[in-house]
Structure 1
Amino acid sequence: MQLAVFGGSFDPVHIAHEAIVNEAVKELDIDKLFVVPTYLNPFKNSFHFKPKIREQLLKKVFFNNQKVEVCDYEIKQNRAVYSIETIKYLKNLYNPSKIYLIIGADNVKNLNKWYKINELKTLVDFVVVSREGFIDSEFAKFKNLKININISSTKLRNKIDLNFIPIQIKEDIIKLQRNKKG
Structure 2
Amino acid sequence: MKIAIFGGSFDPVHIAHETIVEVALKNLDIDKLIVVPTYLNPFKTSFYLEPKFRFELLKKVFLPYPNVEICDYEIKNDKVSYTYETVSYIKSLYKPSKVYFIIGEDNVRNLHKWYKIEELKREVEFVVATRVGFNQNIEDFKILDINIDISSTNLREQIDLKFVPKAIQEDILNLQKGRKIE
Shift of 1:181: 2.4
SS of the aligned residue for 2:101 comes to strand
Shift of 1:176: 1.2
Residue deviations 1:118-161 (CA, integer Å, cap 9, x gap)? 0000000000011122123x211100000011000000000100
Shift of 1:180: 1.6
Measured in 2, the distance between the counterparts of 1:103 and 1:177 equals: 28
Matched, 1:83 2:65: no
Matched, 1:166 2:165: yes
Residue deviations 1:69-125 (CA, integer Å, cap 9, x gap)? 000000000001000010000001110001000001111111110000000000000
Measured in 2, the distance between the counterparts of 1:161 and 1:30 equals: 32
Matched, 1:51 2:48: no
Residue aligning to 2:34? 34
Measured in 2, the distance between the counterparts of 1:50 and 1:132 equals: 27
SS of the aligned residue for 1:103 comes to strand
Matched, 1:22 2:5: no
Measured in 1, the distance between the counterparts of 2:82 and 2:151 equals: 22
Residue aligning to 1:154? 153
Matched, 1:179 2:178: yes
TM-score where L is the length of structure 2: 0.97
Overall identity of the aligned pairs, in %:
62
SS of the aligned residue for 1:160 comes to coil
Measured in 1, the distance between the counterparts of 2:77 and 2:14 equals: 24
Measured in 2, the distance between the counterparts of 1:158 and 1:133 equals: 18
Measured in 1, the distance between the counterparts of 2:180 and 2:14 equals: 20
Measured in 2, the distance between the counterparts of 1:127 and 1:7 equals: 12
Measured in 2, the distance between the counterparts of 1:65 and 1:100 equals: 18
SS of the aligned residue for 2:139 comes to helix
Structure 2 residues not aligned, in runs of 5+: none
Count of residue correspondences = 181
SS of the aligned residue for 2:179 comes to helix
Shift of 1:177: 1.9
Residue aligning to 2:114? 114
Aligned residue type for 2:121: K
Measured in 2, the distance between the counterparts of 1:134 and 1:122 equals: 26
Measured in 2, the distance between the counterparts of 1:167 and 1:131 equals: 21
Structure 1 residues not aligned, in runs of 5+: none
